[in-house]
C-alpha cells in the first residue's frame, strides 16, 4: 500500500511540472510560427497528454482486458469534459472561439456518437456489444479527417497572421505577448520534457491507483471507468488548468477537446484494429453521459456569451460527481 501511495505522489509532482513546461513550450512555438494556440492545443498538447490513455488502452487490449481499455477511454473523456472543463471554468471563464464552435466541438460530438454506435450494438442490432476491426477502421478514418481539418485550419491561421498589420501598441498587448518567445531549441526541450513527465507521471498514477483499487476489491470495468480513467486523465487536468491560470484558453480548451477526439477515434480505433473490444460492460448511461457532455459544451459555445461561465463550470463538476455516484452504486 505504501508503494502505491508513493507512486501517486511522485506521479502527481511529475504531471504538474510537465504540464507547466509543456504549456510554456507550446505557447512559445505558437507565437514564433504564427500558429493559433487552439491548433497547438488540439494537436501537440492533446496528443502528448493523451499518450497515457493510448498506452493503457493498447496494453490492456493486447493482454485481453478490453473492458479496461474501453472503460478507460469512456471514463477519461467524461472526466475531461465534465470535471476538467468545469474546473477550468471555475478558475476563469473559458471563451469558445469561432473555429472551436464550427469545427472542433461538432467533431467532438460526432466522436461520441460514433463511439456509442460502435460500442452498443445490442441497442441498434441484436448482436453482442463488440467494437470490431471494421469499427476501428471507421474510427481511424474519422480521426484522419479531423487531422486534415486541423491542418487546414493551421495553414489558414498562419496565412491570416502574416497578412495582419502590427497596429497594436505594446501597451495593448498582454503580458505574455510582451515577453520575447524563448529560443526554438529551448521550446522543443520544454515540449519533449513536459510530454515525457506527463507520460511517466500518468503511468505511475495509474499503477498506484490501480494497486489501491485492486486491494479494495473493485471490478475491472469499474476500475477502467473510474480509477484508471482518472489517473490517465490527470495530465489533461494539469495541462489545462495550468494553461487556464496562465490565460491561454486556446491551449487549455484545445487540449481537452483534442484529447477527447484522440481518445475516442485514435485510441479505440487502434485498439479495435489490434483486437476487437468487448463493450458489454459499458452501459447506455456511460455512452449517453459522454455524448451529452459534448453537446452541452457545444451549446455553451453557440448561446449567450459564447463562453463557459463559472456557473456552467459548477454545473459540469456537479454532473461529474452525480455520474461517479451512479457508477459506484451500480458497480
Rounded distance between C-alpha atoms, residue 18 and residue 25, angstroms: 10
Q: Between 25 and 163, where is the model more confident?
A: 25
% of the chain residues with pLDDT over 70: 67
pLDDT-derived band at 167, boundaries 50, 70, 90: very low
The three three-digit cell numbers of residue 21, written as one number? 513546461
Give 223-280 as a DSSP string: HIIIIIHHHHHHHHHHHHHHHHHTT-HHHHHHHHHHHHHIIIIIIHHHHHHHS-EE-T
Range in 157-171, 176-190, 206-220, 280-294 with the lowest mean pLDDT: 157-171
Report pLDDT digits (tens) over 266-285. 889 988 998 888 887 788 89
Contact 280, 112 (CB under 8 A): no
Contact 306, 101 (CB under 8 A): yes
Q: Between 60 and 70, where is the model more confident?
A: 70
Rounded distance between C-alpha atoms, residue 7 and residue 18, angstroms: 16
The pLDDT, as a whole number, for residue 18 is 73
Distances (CA, A) of 271 to 61, 73, 117, 292, 300: 6, 11, 17, 24, 32
| Mean pLDDT value across residues 236-247 | 72
**Residue whose entry in the numeric block shows the C-alpha cell 485498439:** 271
The pLDDT, as a whole number, for residue 90 is 87
* pTM of the complete model beyond 0.85: no
Domains and their CATH numbers in the chain: 2-159+181-330 (1.20.1420.30)
Residues 6+ apart with CB under 8 A from 164: none
Report pLDDT digits (tens) over 128-144. 778 888 999 999 999 88
Amino acid at each position: 500500500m505504501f508503494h502505491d501511495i508513493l507512486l501517486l505522489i511522485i506521479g502527481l509532482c511529475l504531471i504538474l511540472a510537465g504540464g507547466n513546461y509543456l504549456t510554456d513550450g507550446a505557447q512559445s512555438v505558437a507565437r514564433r510560427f504564427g500558429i493559433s494556440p487552439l491548433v497547438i492545443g488540439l494537436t501537440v498538447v492533446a496528443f502528448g497528454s493523451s499518450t497515457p490513455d493510448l498506452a493503457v488502452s493498447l496494453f490492456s487490449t493486447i493482454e485481453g482486458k478490453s473492458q479496461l481499455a474501453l472503460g478507460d477511454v469512456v471514463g477519461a473523456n467524461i472526466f475531461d469534459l465534465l470535471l476538467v472543463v468545469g474546473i477550468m471554468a471555475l478558475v476563469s471563464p473559458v471563451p469558445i472561439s469561432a473555429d472551436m464552435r464550427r469545427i472542433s466541438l461538432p467533431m467532438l460530438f460526432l466522436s461520441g456518437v460514433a463511439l456509442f454506435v460502435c460500442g452498443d450494438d445490442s441497442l441498434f442490432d441484436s448482436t453482442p456489444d463488440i467494437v470490431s476491426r471494421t469499427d476501428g477502421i471507421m474510427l481511424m478514418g474519422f480521426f484522419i479527417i479531423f487531422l486534415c481539418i486541423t491542418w487546414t485550419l493551421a495553414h489558414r491561421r498562419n496565412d491570416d497572421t502574416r497578412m495582419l498589420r502590427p497596429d497594436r501598441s505594446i501597451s495593448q498587448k498582454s503580458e505574455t505577448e510582451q515577453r520575447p518567445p524563448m529560443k526554438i531549441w529551448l521550446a522543443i526541450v520544454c515540449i519533449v520534457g513536459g510530454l515525457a513527465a506527463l507520460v511517466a507521471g500518468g503511468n505511475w498514477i495509474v499503477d498506484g491507483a490501480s494497486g489501491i483499487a485492486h486491494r479494495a476489491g473493485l471490478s475491472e470495468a469499474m476500475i477502467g471507468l473510474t480509477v484508471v480513467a482518472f489517473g490517465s486523465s490527470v495530465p489533461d487536468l494539469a495541462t489545462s488548468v495550468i494553461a487556464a491560470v496562465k490565460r491561454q484558453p486556446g491551449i487549455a480548451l484545445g487540449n481537452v477537446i483534442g484529447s477527447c477526439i484522440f481518445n475516442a477515434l485514435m485510441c479505440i480505433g487502434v485498439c479495435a484494429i489490434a483486437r476487437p473490444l468487448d463493450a458489454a460492460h459499458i452501459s447506455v448511461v456511460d455512452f449517453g453521459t459522454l455524448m451529452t457532455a459534448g453537446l452541452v459544451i457545444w451549446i455553451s459555445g453557440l448561446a449567450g456569451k459564447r463562453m463557459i461561465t463559472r456557473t456552467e463550470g459548477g454545473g459540469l463538476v456537479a454532473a461529474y460527481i452525480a455520474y461517479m455516484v451512479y457508477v459506484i452504486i451500480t458497480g
